[in-house]
């Protein structure tokens, strides 16, 4: 099995009521789909985990990291998912300190300095990452 170059995560919201009926409350992570498509066109091995779904846990993410030798994790976050994104990045760094953590999404496009100060985020992609 080819190692996974990039694992994209859609960070879950902090508000548990959003998870009660995910089919009504959310959309698929289209931005991550765009990014994955661009990277696949350059022959990168990419996967996406949508953590909005209540059945997806941090254990699922860590299992993928442990089995696939992931080089980089990209976490998309909005303002309501930012705090969870930082927590997720911290857990990943504690288990895989050499894994590169990249944040993207609307929140960090404006608050990139704060994200970089967390010490669990290595890079921030601002604006539309697939155009970069």
Tens of pLDDT along 89-131?
999 999 999 999 999 988 888 988 999 999 999 999 886 656 6
Which pTM value belongs to this model? Answer: 0.85
Per-residue CA distances from 44 to 7, 35, 51, 89 (Å): 11, 11, 22, 22
- How many C-alpha atoms does 13 have within 13 Å on its Cβ side? 12
The topology (CATH level 3) of 6-64+77-131 is: Rossmann fold (3.40.50)
So where are the chain's domains? 6-64+77-131
């Amino acid at each position: 099995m080819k190692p996974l170059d990039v694992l994209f995560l859609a960070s879950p919201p902090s508000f548990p009521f959003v998870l009660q009926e995910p089919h009504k409350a959310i959309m698929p992570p289209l931005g991550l789909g765009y990014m994955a498509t661009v990277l696949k066109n350059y022959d990168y091995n990419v996967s996406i985990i949508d953590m909005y779904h209540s059945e997806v846990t941090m254990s699922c993410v860590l299992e993928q990291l442990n089995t696939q030798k992931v080089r980089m994790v990209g976490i998309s976050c909005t303002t309501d998912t930012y705090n969870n994104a930082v927590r997720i990045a911290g857990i990943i760094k504690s288990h895989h300190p050499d894994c590169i953590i990249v944040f993207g999404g609307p929140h960090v496009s404006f608050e990139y300095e704060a994200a970089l100060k967390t010490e669990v985020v290595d890079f921030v992609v601002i604006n539309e990452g697939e155009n970069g």
